[in-house]
Amino acid sequence: MALKIRLTRGGAKKRPYYRIIVADSRFPRDGRFIDRIGAYDPMKPKDAADRVVLDVEKAKEWLAKGAQPTDRVARFLDQAGLMKRAARNNPEKAKPGKKAEERAAERAEKAAAAAAPAEGEGAAAE
């Protein structure tokens, strides 16, 4: 049984509220869970003390049993000092795809072609 420490969504439409739970990875996001270990309210200001409420003892217990946190929960656990989350960096994500590079090259060619005759006309007029 693969255990996950993850978020389950509650709250009204456009007013999310999440509970931090431990569940079997096969269970649906808002379905059955084993234990509730905290809560996360993204609507509160970032500096609010009760934005993330976490039962540290329960979290330690479940991590010792082998539960794997999701990326967002790993951030919370890192802030609480329970685990170290490696910084992620993907510089390839910001690069444009092949089609976008082709379109940019075409635009550059058109701009160069449009600028070349305009330069030639200016020289002939003098």
CATH number at residue 22: 3.30.1320.10
Domain that holds residue 75: 3-80
Position 124 scores a pLDDT of 52
* Structural domain includes residue 52: yes
CA 45 to chain centre: 18
User: Are residues 42 and 104 part of one domain?
Assistant: no
Burial class (CB in 10 A: 0-12, 13-18, 19+), 34: middle
Position 1 scores a pLDDT of 66
* Structural domain includes residue 9: yes
Position 83 scores a pLDDT of 85
**Considering only CA atoms, which of 16, 92, 87, 80 is closest in space to residue 52?**
80
CB burial of 76-107 (b: ≥16 within 10 Å; e: otherwise) equals bbeeeeeeeeeeeeeeeeeeeeeeeeeeeeee
| Residue owning tokens 């649906």 | 28
> What's the rounded Cα separation, in Å, for the pair 33 and 18?
13
* Structural domain includes residue 88: no
**Considering only CA atoms, which of 44, 47, 41 is closest in space to residue 9?**
41
Our count of domains for the chain comes to 2
User: Are residues 113 and 75 part of one domain?
Assistant: no
Position 73 scores a pLDDT of 93
User: Are residues 16 and 74 part of one domain?
Assistant: yes
Q: Which helix (H) or strand (E) holds 114?
A: helix 98-125
pLDDT tens series, the chain, 126 aa: 699 999 999 999 999 999 999 999 898 888 889 999 999 999 999 999 899 999 999 999 999 999 999 999 999 999 888 888 887 788 888 888 899 999 999 999 999 998 887 665 555 555
User: Are residues 100 and 72 part of one domain?
Assistant: no
User: Are residues 62 and 16 part of one domain?
Assistant: yes
* Structural domain includes residue 89: no
User: Are residues 102 and 42 part of one domain?
Assistant: no
